[in-house]
Amino acid sequence: MDRLSALQDVRISSLEGKVSEEEWKLRVDLAAAYRLIAHYGWDDLIFTHMSVRIPGPEHHFLLNPYNLMFEEVTASSLVKVDMQGNPVDPTPFITNPAGFTIHSAVHMSREDANAVIHLHTPHGQAVAAHGEGLLPLTQTAMLVRGDLAFHDYEGVATDHDERERIVADLGTRNAMLLRNHGTLSVGSTVGEAFIRIYFLERACQAQIMALSAGEAINHPPQGTPEIAAEQGAQGLKLAAQFLAWPALLRKAYRLDPNFAT
């Protein structure tokens, strides 16, 4: 069997019944997130990444196979790695070294950050390169802006020493602009991280559109960005858990149920 055939067999073969029910559910959720990111046009060929931690003292987590497009990712094809970046189980796939650096940094330091999403969208990169970062121009931006951290660019994230600085810059916040690079979100679940990145990306897109429309920008009344930030801190988590993520999962199944194999 040639390498391409072997990769294809791994991609389509299901691990369901061979891993714990808890791990399988996490695999399905993460694979759904990859498909949804592709659906919304937020993928960057194969070069961004999402992860979810597997429960247990080992802190193993799942990453995407580096050579699969996001619309090809399935629950079975996700690669389980340890905290040194080594595959836990035999796999013909490799993972993105920069992805490991960023995700392992967060998983090692934040017990509440079970899921991490990192994107390179044009709008996210544009706002990450903007001197003032995310501006309180829209309700969407105001809902996430108070939970936003910043990390200065250090080159492609292959230096494991950068992990300490990523962790320090993120602190207890749940979203980040990686300066001149892209966006990042974390959550206790895949759904929570997804809803945060959704709001952050939409806010970035709206900001670029508003600023490109001219100088007559309407700014919100004083005090309202802070009110919206408090509302977002409570509301986004609840929306992810009970409303938006279940709806998005249904959408992923309608798009292509193959992701859950």
Axis crossing angle, helix 245-255 with helix 190-212, rounded to the nearest 10: 90
Mean per-residue pLDDT of the chain = 89
Rounded CA separation 64/66 (Å): 6
> Predicted confidence band at 226 (pLDDT cuts at 50, 70, 90)?
confident
> Predicted confidence band at 12 (pLDDT cuts at 50, 70, 90)?
very low
Give the per-residue pLDDT at 8: 44
Give the per-residue pLDDT at 22: 93
Cβ atoms within 10 Å, residue 138: 19
pLDDT tens readout for residues 192-208 = 999 999 999 999 999 99
For the ranges 70-84, 100-114, 182-196, 223-237, the one whose mean pLDDT is highest:
182-196
Give the per-residue pLDDT at 3: 42
| Alpha-carbon distances, residue 39 vs 25, 184, 200 (angstroms) | 21, 18, 17
Rounded CA separation 85/95 (Å): 8
- Please, is 5 exposed, middle or buried when counting C-beta atoms within 10 Å of its C-beta (0-12, 13-18, 19+)? exposed
